[in-house]
């Protein structure tokens, strides 16, 4: 075994061990609860735009994008645009790929900042409900002829909305790519940390994921990513398309 293969095997074994490390997982859970209270994810930017994600999730997405080399990355939920800029910048480094962002309300000041950013050349934005027929038809057109498509769902986090998004967007995901469902952590944190939002324990992205997987065998949860990150807003939310 050469040194590169040896190191990869060592890392793989370490990740698997983390999945069974109860004290470490308990510490990670405690950190997640406290950091959500302090709005930790609001602290970070990517190339000048607020990204509102945990660094661990950002790194995991980078790894997946580079591994897959997707032709199109679709993300529902734009907010300040940091995620769009992030995805586009990785595409720029790879020399391929385009990013499609969808939001029901793209605020003008955020739209202006995104459009004026150097990475805007790799970004298209659509305003409207992510589950409306008009938006879905446009997305379908943009996926035509694309060999590799990656989907990230990060908009309204209620069970019904996320489940509808999963059903509508999962067909766009190509084999061996991912459907990433964000903020599944809502199911695992104390109710008071949801800050009186429409989603809550029992009504959130994770419950939607589990409901979807009851009848869909094309996807499976990539628990390797969960074991690698430990600190993530998307436990059980990285779904790999296996067929």
Residue 192 has a pLDDT of 76
The pLDDT of residue 196 is 74
CA atoms of 220 and 15, how far apart (whole Å):
18
Provide the pLDDT for residue 197. Answer: 84
- Reported as a single tens digit per residue, the pLDDT across 7-59 is 999 999 999 999 999 999 999 999 999 999 999 999 999 999 999 999 999 99
- Taken in order 89, 226, 78, 164, the sign of the CA dihedral is positive
Q: What is the pLDDT of residues 174-231, one digit of tens each?
A: 999 999 999 999 999 887 777 778 899 999 999 999 999 999 999 999 999 999 999 9
Please state, in angstroms and rounded to a whole number, the distance separating the CA atoms of residues 237 and 223: 9
- C-alpha angle with apex 179: 178 to 181, nearest 5 degrees? 135
pTM for this prediction: 0.96
- pLDDT confidence bin for 1, thresholds 50/70/90: confident
The mean pLDDT value for 110-134 works out to 98
Q: Which domains does the chain have, with CATH numbers?
A: 3-241 (3.40.50.150)
Picking from 42, 70, 12, 36, the residue whose alpha carbon sits closest to that of residue 197 is 36
Average pLDDT over residues 109-119: 98
């Amino acid at each position: 075994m050469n040194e590169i293969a040896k190191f990869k095997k060592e890392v793989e074994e370490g990740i698997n061990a983390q999945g069974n490390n109860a004290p470490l997982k308990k510490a990670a859970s405690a950190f997640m609860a406290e950091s959500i209270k302090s709005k930790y994810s609001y602290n970070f930017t990517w190339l000048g735009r607020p990204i509102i994600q945990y660094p661990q999730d950002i790194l995991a997405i980078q790894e997946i994008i580079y591994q897959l080399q997707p032709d199109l990355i679709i993300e529902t939920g734009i907010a300040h645009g940091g995620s769009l800029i992030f995805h586009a910048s990785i595409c720029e480094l790879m020399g391929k790929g385009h990013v499609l962002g969808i939001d029901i309300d793209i605020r003008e000041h955020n739209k202006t900042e995104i459009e004026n950013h150097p990475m805007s050349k790799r970004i298209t934005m659509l305003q409207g409900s992510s589950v409306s027929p008009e938006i879905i038809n446009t997305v379908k057109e943009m996926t035509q002829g694309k060999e590799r498509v990656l989907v990230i769902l990060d908009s309204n986090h209620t069970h019904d909305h996320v489940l509808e998004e999963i059903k509508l967007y999962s067909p766009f995901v190509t084999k061996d790519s991912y459907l990433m469902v964000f903020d599944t952590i809502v199911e695992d944190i104390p109710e008071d940390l949801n800050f009186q939002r429409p989603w809550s324990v029992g009504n959130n992205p994770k419950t939607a994921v589990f409901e979807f997987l009851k009848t869909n065998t094309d996807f499976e949860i990539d628990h390797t990513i969960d074991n690698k990150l430990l600190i993530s807003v998307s436990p059980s939310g990285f779904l790999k398309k296996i067929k």
